[in-house]
Amino acid sequence: MSIRPLPNIIITGTPGCGKTSHAEIISNELDGFKHINITDFAKDNDAYDGFDKERNSHIVDEDKLLDALEPILEKGGILIDWHACDMFPERLIDLVVVLRTENGTLYERLEKRNYSQSKIDENLDCEIMEVILQEAKESYAEEIVVELESNNTDDIDSNSQRIKSWIDSWKVNNPEGASNELSM
């Protein structure tokens, strides 16, 4: 049986909600944790299946991505940073953090990134309709999905502290680590 000594955490939410900021803080402050930005990981592992001109973004080949990512997840201590979460195997995920941002703040952040108006509107609609939160709730056990506000640096600091406390509790509750196998 394969055991991971540290939990794997997905930090997800619409673009501009602070996923990377959260993951970087936690990975820099905790030994054994690695931040994987899925956009960069897909590029580094040639896990693209074309380009969406309308959205000005690459299309990720989920099979290729998971083939490269699963062996890393099996070792544990991974902070996945991406705007989607439903593709990652539930057996390898211990916590899903869905970051939520107030629409005005999100608009300003996306505008600063020079997103097109249609891309800003699409992401705001996604946030308003709670698309990512619903995806998380449908894909993972309810008890591992946590929704956190991410509107300012105080929120980021507080959320990072909360996630680090959760990791401490996970270590206490899983002194031997967690199985990478499906539970029956």
> Is 50 annotated for ligand binding?
no
> Is 177 annotated for ligand binding?
no
> Is 57 annotated for ligand binding?
no
Beta strands 57-60 and 178-179, pairing class: unpaired
> Is 16 annotated for ligand binding?
yes
Instruction: Answer yes or no: are the C-beta atoms of 18 and 83 closer than 8 Å.
Output: no
> Is 19 annotated for ligand binding?
yes
> Is 113 annotated for ligand binding?
yes
Annotated binding site for ATP: 16, 18-21, 113
Annotated binding site: 16, 18-21, 113
